[in-house]
Structure formats: C-alpha cells, structure tokens
Amino acid sequence: MMTAALRPSEPTTVNVALGNRAYDIVIGRGVAASLGLRIAALKPGARLAIVTDENVARAHLDSLEAQLSAAGMTVARIVVPPGEGSKSFASFERVCDALIAAKIERNDLIVAFGGGVVGDLAGYAAASVRRGLDFVQVPTTLLAQVDSSVGGKTGINSRHGKNLVGAFHQPILVLADTALLDTLPQRDFRAGYAELAKFGLLGDAGFFAWLEANWQDAFAGGPAREHAIAIACRGKAAIVARDERETGERALLNLGHTFGHAFEAAAGFSDKLLHGEAISLGIVCAFEFSTRLGLLSTNDAGRVAHHLAAVGLPTHLRDVPALSTNADALMELIAQDKKVKRGKLTFILVRGIGNAFVAPDVDPAQVRDFLAQKLSQA
C-alpha cells in the first residue's frame, strides 16, 4: 500500500511528454502566484485574456490580475456564468467574440481560470479563434486539477449529449494550485474526488486502497491532498503521452462516463447532478454491470460503492431525484456517446479493482435491462 509523502517545500512538476508540444503540470500550494513569471518565460510579450466564471472571479480574479499587471502584462477578462450551462454554443460564441474584440492575436495567450467547464470552454475557444491560440490552464477545482485540465480535451455540450462538439488542443502549461481548493464548496470537492477514485479503479488498485485509508486527510487539506493529485496527474500524463487522441488505452479514463454522461444529460446538465456525482453513479453502474456479466465478484462492486458513499457521493439512482426517467430514454442518450462505433456500444468494464478494459460491441439489450432494474430500485 502506498503512503503519503510529507508536504514538499517545492512544487511537484509532472511533464506531459508530447514531443514539441510537451508541457508541465505544476502542483503545489501557492503556485498560481508564479503564473506571471512562467508566462513571461514561455510567451514573452504576450497579451492575456483570462476566461473565468462569476464565482471564481468574485473570489480570486482581482488578485490574479494584479499579479499579472505587476509583471507588466496587459490583461483582458471574460467572465461567464458558473455551471454546466456555460458549456454551450451560446457561451462559446460569446467567448470567441470577446477574444476577437479584445484583439487577442495568434502570439497572445488565453488563461483558463476555473473548473472543468471554464477549462473546456476556454480551451475550445483557444483551439478555434484565429485557427488556434496557445492557452494555459489554472484549474480551481479538484475535478479540473486531476482530470479535465490535463490532456487537451476541450469542448462544449450539445442538446444531444455531453462533450459532442470540441477539439483536442493541448495547453502549454497547467498550474494546479492546491490552495485554491481551500475555498471550494464541499459538494464540489466531493465531485472531484470521484475522478481521483476513478484513476485508482481503472488501473492502480494500490492507489485506490491508499485513498480508502487516507481520503479524510485529502479532504482536510493535509499532505494526502497534494500527493493524491500528483499521483493522478502523473498517471494521466503517461496515458495521454501514449494515446493522445484516444485511439486505444486513453479510453480507459472514461470509466463510469458512458453511464455518467447519460445521467448528466437526463438531469439537464444542471446543478441537480454535478459531473463528478454523475461519474460516481456511472462507476458504480460499471462495476455492477461487470458483475452482472460475470466479470468480477460482487465483493469488489460493493467495496467501490461503499467507499464512494462514505465520502458522500451518490451511489444509487434513487439518490438523485432529477433522474426520474426510464431505461429507453437513457439508452437514447447512451447511443450518442462518443465511443459508439457504427452504432455499436462501447463501455469501459472491469475485471476487478484496478483492472479496467475496453469492451466493444456490448449488447444494448443487456444494458437496457440493467438500467431498467436500477431504475426500478430507485
């Protein structure tokens, strides 16, 4: 079993090895204060546009702008409403127009300063405006620090489903300042924790066991927090370096997401069900469906559900009143999943904790029967 390292005096740096597009993820308390110096080294003379949401702007934007201005940088701010609703065509149009109005040019820089919604939206705008601008991720939520800020997936939602419009566009730097998590609402921290647990469940059983023993210290802001974030980032960086565009191994990072994205869509992409909460439900469903297929024991599925429930995440569809739907409606949403190939369903299933695999051509009838049973228990 892994043990937590003592809090380091220096930040942890994880490199995402993508040749001439390689970049660093810098993890530690207070690292956002170095943003100006790091940008000056990477993009001397660049003008900046910070894309953020109203909540992050209220808490942190003035201090970040002051730091960048003190470093001699010209800064424009673009503020969007918080929440999944901002991952929309309307918000994308607004951000793109604001970047052009601010005269952000190809040699300038976009800073995505917020959670996963801001990172996905700002990154997609960066991929699109003037046919591609560099951008930096400064993630302010646990979910964004361990998952969405790393790997270059950007995009928005369609009324047909989650993340169906977007582009692969890598950042040039990620600054994961763990001090920013101190003010994160507990519900949002829990939602991010689902992605931490996911990493252990898909390929690192020892990490999941360590989380079972140390999750309370991670929640409290102790040394376990930075250690866990670093482990997850290091693991994801390695997978992204091997399979940037998700032609194989990277698909494993979607454990829980085929079910989870359908649940999010059914709940209207709203705060009735946060992304990480949907992923918690999706992970439980992936383990229980794998059990139903005879791939693993019920003990593993029960252990996973027990841990996610212990940290306060939903593990039963009945925990989410917004999911008052039916199996056929969920199957329609699942059919829009990006992993569907020529109409055949692909799921990430498991043979045990830390042993996920890509399962192509899953029988839709079996999935529908499973969902119908889960909904009947709600």
Q: Once rounded to an integer, what is the mean pLDDT over residues 207-224?
A: 96
Q: Once rounded to an integer, what is the mean pLDDT over residues 369-378?
A: 90
CATH number of the domain that residue 127 is part of: 3.40.50.1970
Domain count, the chain: 2
Q: Identify the active-site residue in 29, 153, 190, 227.
A: 153
pLDDT of residue 6 exceeding 70: no
Q: What is the pLDDT of residue 4?
A: 45
Last residue of a domain, one of 183, 214, 229: 183
Q: Identify the active-site residue in 29, 169, 225, 250.
A: 250
Q: Is 62 found in the same domain as 22?
A: yes
Last residue of a domain, one of 154, 183, 212: 183
Last residue of a domain, one of 138, 153, 183: 183
Long-range CB contacts (within 8 A, 24+) of 67-73: 67/33, 67/35, 67/36, 68/35, 68/36, 68/39, 70/36, 71/36, 71/37, 71/39, 71/40, 73/36, 73/39, 73/40, 73/46, 73/47, 73/48
pLDDT band, very low/low/confident/very high, at 59 (cuts 50, 70, 90): very high
CATH number of the domain that residue 253 is part of: 1.20.1090.10
Q: For this structure, is 195 an active site residue?
A: yes
pLDDT of residue 378 exceeding 70: no
Q: Is 117 found in the same domain as 248?
A: no
Domain assignment present for residue 17? The answer is: yes
Q: Is 76 found in the same domain as 219?
A: no
Q: Is 105 found in the same domain as 207?
A: no
pLDDT of residue 345 exceeding 50: yes
CA atoms within 13 Å, Cβ hemisphere of 20 = 0
DSSP secondary structure letters along 238-253: HHHHH-TT-SSGGGGG
Report residue 65 as tokens.
């702008």
Q: Is 350 found in the same domain as 257?
A: yes
Q: For this structure, is 341 an active site residue?
A: no
Q: For this structure, is 236 an active site residue?
A: yes
CA dist list (Å): 86 to 90, 144, 271, 326, 328: 8, 16, 12, 27, 28
What residues have CB less than 8 Å from 313, skipping those under 6 apart?
Answer: 190, 191, 193, 194, 276, 277, 280
- pLDDT digits 0-9 by tens, 132-167: 999 999 999 999 999 999 999 999 999 888 899 999
pLDDT band, very low/low/confident/very high, at 1 (cuts 50, 70, 90): very low
pLDDT of residue 2 exceeding 50: no
Q: What is the pLDDT of residue 161?
A: 85
3-class DSSP assignment, residue 287: helix
Q: What is the pLDDT of residue 9?
A: 59
Domain assignment present for residue 56? The answer is: yes
Q: For this structure, is 275 an active site residue?
A: yes
- pLDDT digits 0-9 by tens, 79-92: 999 999 999 999 99
Biggest CA–CA distance in the chain, Å, is 61
Q: Is 111 exposed, middle or buried (0-12, 13-18, 19+ CB in 10 A)?
A: buried
Domain assignment present for residue 22? The answer is: yes
Report residue 270 as tokens.
């709203």
Q: For this structure, is 257 an active site residue?
A: yes
3-class DSSP assignment, residue 140: coil
pTM for the model stands at 0.91
Q: Is 74 found in the same domain as 20?
A: yes
Q: What is the pLDDT of residue 344?
A: 79
Distance CA 271, CA 255 (A): 22
Q: For this structure, is 54 an active site residue?
A: no
Domain assignment present for residue 160? The answer is: yes
Q: Once rounded to an integer, what is the mean pLDDT over residues 172-193?
A: 96
Q: Is 220 found in the same domain as 176?
A: no
Q: Identify the active-site residue in 254, 307, 338, 374.
A: 254
pLDDT of residue 119 exceeding 50: yes
Q: Identify the active-site residue in 65, 84, 195, 226.
A: 195
Domain assignment of residue 363, given as a range: 197-376
Q: Once rounded to an integer, what is the mean pLDDT over residues 335-357?
A: 86
Q: For this structure, is 250 an active site residue?
A: yes
Instruction: Enumerate the β-bridge partners of residue 76.
Output: 49
Q: Is 122 found in the same domain as 20?
A: yes
Q: Identify the active-site residue in 77, 162, 227, 236.
A: 236
Q: Identify the active-site residue in 225, 261, 307, 338.
A: 261
Q: For this structure, is 318 an active site residue?
A: no
Please, where are the H alpha helices in the chain? 35-42, 54-56, 62-70, 89-101, 116-128, 142-143, 186-203, 205-220, 223-242, 257-266, 275-292, 298-310, 327-334, 364-376
Weakest mean pLDDT among 200-214, 255-269, 334-348: 334-348
Q: What is the pLDDT of residue 45?
A: 94
Domain assignment present for residue 74? The answer is: yes
pLDDT of residue 213 exceeding 80: yes
Q: For this structure, is 261 an active site residue?
A: yes
